[in-house]
């Protein structure tokens, strides 16, 4: 079963992150690199990506000619996706354990992270026979 583990943050979370000290950033980056290697070594890694800051994120719709209309004014409270991992595991519990590890990514000032990780199942192919 595949699960996606998502890190979300508000604009103010991203702004605070951008002001971390060099040491804090290095600790966090080292953790993320080690975490990614852990997933690969244990044979559960499917994919992972980090996303650009939401500063220039746009909402796009089509106008009557199908041309894009972009909109970029978001309410302060909106949560943005910061990055994600997709893992292939035996159970939801195993996905939660991995998410808990991700949640411990070090925060500023040598604190242990408490970032919530949203875990969702990735839909798979067809099920067994239906009656």
User: Is 41 among the residues that bind other proteins (CB under 8 A)?
Assistant: yes
Return the number of the residue (73 or 130) whose C-beta is nearest other proteins: 130
Q: Which of 49, 90, 93, 110 binds other proteins (CB under 8 A)?
A: 90
Handedness of CA 113, 26, 42, 127 (dihedral sign): positive
Among candidate residues 65, 106, 64, 99, the one with its CA nearest the CA of residue 84: 99
Return the number of the residue (20 or 96) whose C-beta is nearest other proteins: 96
| Contact between residue 62 and residue 69 where contact means Cβ atoms under 8 Å apart | yes
Min dist CB 124 to other proteins, Å, is 6
User: Is 125 among the residues that bind other proteins (CB under 8 A)?
Assistant: yes
Q: Which stretch binds other proteins (CB under 8 A): 27-35, 50-58, 64-72, 121-129?
A: 121-129
**Residue 7 has what DSSP assignment?**
E
Q: Which of 18, 30, 47, 69 binds other proteins (CB under 8 A)?
A: 47
Number of residues that bind other proteins (CB under 8 A): 22
Q: Distance of CA 96 to CAs 38, 55, 112, 121, 131, Å?
A: 15, 30, 18, 11, 32
Residue 7, exposed/middle/buried by CB under 10 A (0-12, 13-18, 19+)? Answer: buried
User: Is 36 among the residues that bind other proteins (CB under 8 A)?
Assistant: no
Binding site for other proteins (CB under 8 A): 1-2, 40-47, 88, 90, 121, 123-131
């Amino acid at each position: 079963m595949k699960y996606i583990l998502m890190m979300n943050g508000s604009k103010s979370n991203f702004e605070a992150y951008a002001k971390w000290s060099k040491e804090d950033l290095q600790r966090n980056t080292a953790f993320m690199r080690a975490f990614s290697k852990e997933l690969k070594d244990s044979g559960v890694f499917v994919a992972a990506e980090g996303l650009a800051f939401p500063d220039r994120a746009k909402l796009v719709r089509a106008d009557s000619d199908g041309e894009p209309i972009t909109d970029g004014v978001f309410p302060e409270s909106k949560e943005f996706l910061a990055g994600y991992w997709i893992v292939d595991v035996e159970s939801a519990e195993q996905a939660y354990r991995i998410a808990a590890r991700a949640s411990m990514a070090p925060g500023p000032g040598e604190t242990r992270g408490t970032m919530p990780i949203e875990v969702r199942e990735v839909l798979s192919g067809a099920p067994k026979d239906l009656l």
